[in-house]
Structure 1
Amino acid sequence: MPPLTDDTLWAILNDELDDNTVNRLVWQGLGYCETENGWDNSAVATDWAEKYPEPPNFIESRPATVQLTRSILPEHKQLLKEELGFKGYTVDQLIPRLTRRATMANWLLSYRKQQVVGG
């Protein structure tokens, strides 16, 4: 897995990192762990583990992406703009796949920030 750096986040936003890797970064942050026998969700928050015993494909699932958006702390909702200077997509780029990738990048940025400050 690539490190959770600004370059990785930009690669997500610029559609340079494949969807599977982007999903796996979020799954890892949520606590999902792949084992020989499937997925271990014992480290996943209860609200996620109950709704998604196996990690969802955020690119394909609007409900999962909505839940991901809601799980971003209010003070972290603008981190893409504040920390990365991301200005958003142009109107012709506003397709679900890219907007979901932006949500995932924002969640990862929030996750990274929480890890640095210890929660």
Structure 2
Amino acid sequence: MSDLPALNFDTIWAILKEELDDATVNRLVWHYLGYRYDQACLKWDNSGVSEEWRSEYPEPPDFIENRPPTVKLTRSIPPENKQLLKEKLGFKGYKVGEFGPRQTRRATMANWLLSYMAGL
């Protein structure tokens, strides 16, 4: 996954502004959850994924297309990190009529990545 963008504020903004495609955003979250694709076996290696995720999602879920894994992602953000998009980036959210489930899920993924960064 060396072709992933660096995990920094610019990348988080690129997620929010939809400058990164959905596949890349998914791959970023998968990477930091611990999923790795084994090219030799042509399958996902989840040995680095916490049991909490691995038991429910042995292969990485599509966070953009499916609500349940995004809800799980939201719940895994510590309470003190729930507002990081506002606190760290000054993100005010999307305007009414300019967003849907896809943008909301991307914002959740961006916030989860910021929370991950805060724990480093």
**TM bucket normalised to smaller:** over 0.9
1:32 to 31, 35, 59: 35
1:22 to 3, 16, 25: 25
Letter in 1 for 2:103: L
Q: Deviations along 1:78-108, whole A, 9 cap, x unmatched?
A: 0000000000001112300000000000000
1:3 to 2, 6, 11: 6
Q: SS at 2:24's partner residue? A: helix
Letter in 2 for 1:95: G
Q: Match of 2:93?
A: 88
1:50 aligns with 2:68: no
In structure 2, C-alpha distance between the alignment counterparts of 1:93 and 1:107, rounded to whole Å: 22
Q: SS at 2:53's partner residue? A: helix
- Percent of pairs with identical residues: 65
Runs of at least 5 residues in structure 1 that lack an aligned partner in the other structure: none
In structure 2, C-alpha distance between the alignment counterparts of 1:104 and 1:59, rounded to whole Å: 9
Q: SS at 2:44's partner residue? A: strand
Runs of at least 5 residues in structure 2 that lack an aligned partner in the other structure: none
TM-score (norm 2): 0.94
CA RMSD of aligned residues (A): 0.6
Q: CA deviation at 1:47?
A: 1.1
- Residue-pair matches, total: 115
Runs of 4+ in 1 over 3 A off after TM superposition: none
Letter in 2 for 1:51: E
